[in-house]
Amino acid sequence: MLQKAESKVEQMTIKITSLDTKNKNFAKIFSDKTRINKSLNSKVLNQVTKIVSDIKKNGDVSLIKYIKKFDGYKPKNMKNIAITNLEIKKAYNFVSKGEIVNLKKAINRIYKFSRKQLSTSWIEKKDNTSLGEKVTPIESVGIYVPGGKASYPSTVIMNTIPAKIAGVERVIMTCPMSNIRDHSLAIVAADLCGVDKIFRVGGAHAIAALAYGTKSILKVDKIVGPGNLYVALAKKTVFGDVGIDNIAGPSEVIIIADSSNNPDWVAMDLFSQAEHDELAQSVMITTSASFIKAVKNSMSKLISSLPRKKIILESLNNRGMLIKAKSNNEICTIVNKIAPEHLEIMCKNNKSILKSIKNAGAIFLGEFSPEVFGDYCAGPNHVLPTSGSARFSSPLGVYDFQKRSSIIEISKATADQLSKIASSMASAEGLQAHAISASYRSKNKN
C-alpha cells in the first residue's frame, strides 16, 4: 500500500522546466522544448495517402469501410451518415435552455466582430480607365469538427459564422459522432449558425470525401477546421485540389507576467492550454524569479483538483517552460521567435510591450483577458496560426471565405501609354507575342 501511495504522489509532481536566459545551455534547452517531433509524420502520411487515394477512387464504398473501422460505429448504409432534420430537433432536447442562451450570446459576439472583416468590391476610375476588384464568396466550404468522446460547439461557430457572413452558399460539416446525445450542443450550434448539411464521419477519410466528393457528399472548394495528425496530413495532401485554412499543430500559449499578478490565475491559464493534449505548449516568461516560485507553488496546489491532470502533467513535462528573462526587450525577442498561437500579456505596462510584439496569432491584454475567452466567446476567431506560422499568417476570418478578381478596363488614351511600357518589358523578357500584342494598342497602330 505504501508503494502505491508513493507512486501516486510521484505522478502528481509537476516537472515543468525552469530556465534562466543567462544560463549557457538556455538556447539549446529552449530549442529542444519548442521543436516538434515530426518523426511520426512519415508513417502516418503513408496511411493518409492510401486513405485519400482510396476515397478518391472508390467514393462511398471506401468511405463506409473507413467509418466502420475508425469512427466507432457501424452504419447500415450511407444514408445513415447524414444527420436528419428530425435528429437535429432531437438534439435540442438534450441541451439545456441555459446552454442555448449562452451559445446564442457567443454567436452574437462572434458575428458582430466578423461582420467588420467583410470586404466589398471596388472600382477606381481615372481618365476613362477603371481598375478595381470584384469580391465574391467561395461557393462551398467543408467544416471539420473533431468528435469522439468530446463535443466542440466552439469549433462549429468559429468556422461557420465567417463563412456565412462571406456569403458561402453551401456549408457542409463533418464530425465523427456515434450518437446524437454526446454531440447535441455541436449539432445545435450548427443549426443556429446555418450549416446546410451534417455528416457523421471523421478522420482523413472525411477530408478526402470533402475534397473529391462521393455520391453522398458533394465536393467542396475549401476545407477548414482542426483535427488530429491524420486530419492535418490529409488536409496537406488534398491542398491544391481544394483550399484549406492551415496545417494545425499543437496548441500553444505564452504568458508574459510580472509579480503584480495573482499566481493562481497564471497557473490555471497555463493548465488550460496544457489540458488540450500532451503536445500542447504552455510557457510563462517573466523578469521575476520570485514570481516563478509563486506560480510553481500555485501549480502544485491546484493540479490535483483537475480531471485532466494526467494530460496536463505530461504536457508540462514535455514542452512546458517557466522562463526568467533579463528584461522586457528580451521577453519580446523570445516571443517573436516562437510566434505563439496565443499570447497573454499580464503586466502593468502591457501596452508598451504590445508595441514590440510582431508575431502572435491572438494577443490578450491584461489579467481579465484570459485565452479561454478567446476560445469561446470574446469575438475574434479562435482558429489561429500554430507552430510559428504566426510569422506569416493570420487568424481565420471572413476574408478566408472570399475571393478577389481584378477588374481592368483600359481607355484608348491610357492603352497608348501602357503599350509602350508593356512592349518594352515584354521584349526584354524575350516574349515577342506579348510585345506585339501590346504594340497593337498603340495609337500609331490604329
**Does residue 415 lie in a domain region?**
yes
- Whether 320 and 414 map to the same domain: the answer is no
C-beta of residue 284 within 8 angstroms of C-beta of residue 257: yes
**Does residue 226 lie in a domain region?**
yes
H helix runs in 84-228, sequence order: 85-93, 97-115, 153-166, 184-193, 203-212
Q: Is the dihedral of CA 58, 63, 64, 66 positive or negative?
A: positive
Q: Which residues are CB-neighbours of 342 under 8 A, at least 6 positions away?
A: 251, 252, 253, 254, 273, 360, 361, 362, 364, 371, 374, 384
- Whether 321 and 435 map to the same domain: the answer is no
C-beta of residue 233 within 8 angstroms of C-beta of residue 207: no
Is 341 considered catalytic here? yes
CA distances to 47, 88, 254, 276, 426 from 446, rounded to whole Å, are 62, 66, 65, 69, 21
Q: Which residues are CB-neighbours of 16 under 8 A, at least 6 positions away?
A: 296, 299, 316, 317, 320, 321, 322
Return the DSSP state at 22: T
| Per-residue burial over 378-406, b = 16 or more CB atoms within 10 Å of its CB, e = otherwise | bebbbbbbbbbbbeeeebbbbbbbbbeee
Q: Which residues are CB-neighbours of 58 under 8 A, at least 6 positions away?
A: none
- Whether 77 and 189 map to the same domain: the answer is yes
- Whether 354 and 369 map to the same domain: the answer is yes
**Does residue 118 lie in a domain region?**
yes
In 3D space, the residue among 40, 377, 388 whose CA is nearest the CA of residue 248 turns out to be: 388
pLDDT of residue 38: 60
pLDDT of residue 8: 43
**Does residue 404 lie in a domain region?**
no
- Residue ending a domain, choose from 229, 244, 259: 244
- Whether 302 and 340 map to the same domain: the answer is yes
Domain that includes residue 357, residue range: 2-35+249-392
- Cell 526584354, located at residue: 428
Q: Is the dihedral of CA 19, 22, 23, 27 positive or negative?
A: positive
- Whether 311 and 296 map to the same domain: the answer is yes
In 3D space, the residue among 385, 330, 348 whose CA is nearest the CA of residue 363 turns out to be: 385
Q: Cα–Cα–Cα angle for 334, 339, 342, nearest 5°?
A: 105
Return the DSSP state at 170: E
- Whether 144 and 225 map to the same domain: the answer is yes
Q: How far is CA 269 from the centre of its chain?
A: 19
Query: pTM to 2 decimals?
Result: 0.90
- Whether 287 and 349 map to the same domain: the answer is yes
CATH number, position 381 = 3.40.50.1980
- Please tell me the total count of domains within the chain: 3
Choosing from 341, 344, 367, 371, the catalytic residue is 341
Beta strands in 182-260 (DSSP E): 197-199, 222-224, 243-244, 252-257
C-beta of residue 247 within 8 angstroms of C-beta of residue 207: no
Instruction: Look up residue 385 and give its three cell numbers.
Output: 496560426
Q: Is the dihedral of CA 396, 399, 402, 405 positive or negative?
A: negative
**Does residue 405 lie in a domain region?**
no
- Cell 490565475, located at residue: 265
Q: Which residues are CB-neighbours of 305 under 8 A, at least 6 positions away?
A: none
Choosing from 342, 344, 367, 382, the catalytic residue is 342
Within 10 Å of residue 333's Cβ, how many Cβ atoms? 13
Amino acid, single-letter form, for residue 185: L
- Residue ending a domain, choose from 392, 418, 435: 392
pLDDT of residue 12: 63
**Does residue 59 lie in a domain region?**
yes
Return the DSSP state at 239: B
**Does residue 78 lie in a domain region?**
yes
- Whether 204 and 55 map to the same domain: the answer is yes
Is 434 considered catalytic here? no
- Whether 417 and 271 map to the same domain: the answer is no
Return the DSSP state at 276: S
- Whether 64 and 168 map to the same domain: the answer is yes
- Whether 289 and 355 map to the same domain: the answer is yes
pLDDT of residue 2: 38
C-beta of residue 313 within 8 angstroms of C-beta of residue 382: no
- Residue ending a domain, choose from 216, 244, 272: 244
**Does residue 401 lie in a domain region?**
no
Q: What kind and span of H or E run contains 372?
A: helix 371-376
Within 10 Å of residue 107's Cβ, how many Cβ atoms? 19
Q: Which residues of the chain have pLDDT under 70?
A: 1-12, 37-40, 149, 445-446
